[in-house]
Structure formats: structure tokens, C-alpha cells
Amino acid sequence: MQFPGRDKWATKLFAQKEELVKTVRTAVYAAREYFSFIRAKEGTGSLSKDDQLKLQESKTAVQEQTNNIRVARYHFDQVVSEGVRAAAEWKRTVNK
């Protein structure tokens, strides 16, 4: 549906989608690193202090990236809502 400002909104939506995709990719990379580390250390017995620290840092990175996904998704949803509101408002105005 075309509405005034749609092109500007579509550009904003595309940029926010790209940001969301970038955030998800970063999270996937962090998760791969975390699970690769776990697989590499499986069956080695107890972890050294250094390995324990690396494991905790890796786990924290995954948690941070998960939170970043939530934030990026929220911002994406906000932009979608802006477009839905603008289109609905325009439709009401046109149909009067």
C-alpha cells in the first residue's frame, strides 16, 4: 500500500532489517565459538583456570548477543508498527 512517506519508511525498515540480520549473524558466530570450545574440551577432564575463564567469557558473549537480538528485534518491530500506523491513518483519511 502506498501512503505518504512510504519510501522513507521503507528505507528505514530496510536499514533496521539489515541491522537485525547483522546482529543475528554476530550471535550465531558467538554461539559457534562457544560450542566449538565446549566440543574441543569434551572428555579432557577438568578445565584449567584459563579454560574456565575462556568458557565463561564465551558464555557471556552468547548471552550479550542474545540480548542484542532482542533489542534489534524490538527496534525492527517499532519501524514495522510505524508503517502500519501511517498506512492505516492514510487509509482513514482517504476513505472519509
- Tell me the pLDDT tens digit for each residue of 15-57: 999 999 999 999 999 999 999 998 888 888 788 999 999 999 9
82 closest CA partner among 10, 1, 15: 10
What's the pTM?
0.84
Q: Length of the chain in residues, anyone?
A: 96
pLDDT value for 20: 98
pLDDT tens per residue across span 55-83: 999 999 999 999 999 999 999 999 999 99
pLDDT at 81: 98
Cell representation of residue 96: 472519509
How far apart are the C-alpha atoms of 87 and 7, rounded to whole Å?
Answer: 12
Contact 13, 87 (CB under 8 A): no
Residue 41: what pLDDT?
84
